Amino acid sequence: MAARLARPRRFSHIPRDAEDNNKNTARALPFMFSAIERPAGPPPGIRQIADDFGPLYASHGFIGWLFAITGPVAIILSVGANGGLSQAEIASWIFGVFFINGAITLLLSWFFREPLVLFWTIPGTVLVGQSLTHLSFPQVVGAFYGTALLMLVLGLSGWVKRAMQLVPMPIVMGMVAGVFLRFGLDLVRAVLTEFVIAGPMVAVWLVLTALPALGRRCPPIIGALIVGTLAALLSGSYEHGTALRLALITPVIPTPSWSLAAMIELVVPLAVTVLVVQNGQGFAVLQAAGHKPPINLVTVACGIGSALSAVVGGVSTCLTGPTNAIVISGGERKRHYTAAMFVGLLALGFGLLAPTFTSLLLIAPKSLITTLAGVAMLRVLQTAFVTAFKARFSLGALVAFLVTVADVPLLNIGAAFWGLVAGFAISWLLERTDFTAGAPA
């Protein structure tokens, strides 16, 4: 008689409770990752990217990158110098926030076909500058790692997306209008004080914008840049005392120090400046233009970028508001991603050649950069005002705008965050019907 095959049996030495716990863990892990958004379709191939790219998107990407390497870089230089960092540590910081975030920008914008430019938190940099007066740089770097971990948890859990959906878009755009207002004001001041450079730039921009046929051959931003450069050269506004040299960056890898005081002082405020202030601006700008940025995935990317930047001493990663606004300021919405990818590509080069580009930046007249950023942001500022004050939540949007423009930080947190808080509170108290009108049936 043939022997009967033995039926596989459950290992009796494994308790049933342990098996149930393993199953629950297996179910919980996919749940964490289920909050991450997926792209609507496959990423574009090289041929498709080449077809979608063009002079207009190259110009917007270039101006967005040019904005990022001017004022924001100057803030890093100032914070690092005042905080006692060496030239090598400052250069490594700049390398991290450009090269690493440029690579993430390239990957995300390509994968989602959406303009998703990631750089670093400017108000967070200012906050770090205050902390460097009484904390060591290794302690600050340790806080960078803590902030990265917090953002990873929030992004994977999906809590960020739910929290951001609670704040009405008009209030957010009121805050954005307050942040971007200075670009318009700086443009006016540049025209009044540096008319030799700013005047011809604005004139050419107006002509190329008013004549679409001509503007398609020479994008208005590029025309303004060419005329401004020529005007600066003819007027002798460039500084020729700084010697230019071609040099590759040598990153410095600081050893973090885990300080409870630094964690308490920096982790939550840094996360707030990234997730609410900076990412809030970026998401609002992109959504107002009809884009659908993946909020949870961007938050996770900010956490990863923050951790990688911290390795070379760089501050936390964020979805930038101004640069994304410049990137989407013209052209077809479905082709904006190519401008963002161009920003990422330029950021890679700037990170590698940070010493060279920084020297070149130092000799450019400030009015040239100010005027370029101003004309690029006009349409975006207009959209922010229209969205904020068009219909519902207009009082809350006004309060958010005023508090942001006042630019008075509280508890080491920038005014943009408090603008959101004040605007939401006023609308909750005085515009309750607007919340009811906007609720789904």
Residue 356 in 3-state DSSP?
A: helix
Tell me whether residue 5 is in a domain. no
Question: CA 44, CA 41: separation in Å to the nearest integer?
Answer: 9
Q: Does the residue 219 lie in any domain?
A: yes
- In angstroms, the CA 338 to CA 57 distance is 7
Helices (H), 132-168: 137-157, 159-164
Q: 131 is in which domain, residue-wise?
A: 46-238+260-438
Domain membership flag for residue 158: yes
Return d(Cα 393, Cα 422) in angstroms, integer: 12
Distant-in-sequence, close-in-space partners of 426: CB < 8 Å, separation ≥ 6? 395, 396, 399
Quote the pLDDT of residue 307. 97
pLDDT at 27: 47
- Residues 6 or more apart whose CB falls under 8 angstroms from that of 227 comprise 200, 201, 204
- In this prediction the pTM is 0.73
Q: Are residues 119 and 317 in contact, defined by beta-carbon separation less than 8 angstroms?
A: yes
Please state the φ and ψ torsions of residue 13, each to the nearest 5 degrees: -85, -5
The parts of the chain modelled with pLDDT lower than 50 are 1-14, 18-19, 21-29, 31, 440-441
Beta bridge partners of residue 208, listed in sequence order: none
Spell out a b/e string for 410-424, using b for 16 or more CB atoms within 10 Å of the CB, else e.
Answer: eeebbbbbbbbbbbb
Q: Are 416 and 179 in contact (CB under 8 A)?
A: yes
Element of type H or E holding 319 = strand 317-319
Paired strand residues for 120? 317
Q: Quick check: is 100 in a domain?
A: yes
Q: Between helices 354-362 and 336-352, what is the axis angle to 10°?
A: 100
Nearest residue to 62 via CA among 434, 370, 389, 326 = 326
The 10s digit of each residue's pLDDT in 80-118 is 888 889 888 988 999 999 999 999 999 999 999 999 999
Amino acid occupying residue 198 = A
Enter the tokens of residue 98: 């450009």
Chain-centre distance for alpha carbon 101:
10
Decide if 22 is inside a domain.
no
**What pLDDT does 352 receive?**
93
Q: Which of 412, 438, 373 is nearest to 168 (CA)?
A: 438
Question: Is residue 387 situated within a structural domain?
Answer: yes
Number of separate domains in the chain: 1
Residue 13 lies in a domain: no
The pLDDT of residue 189 is 93
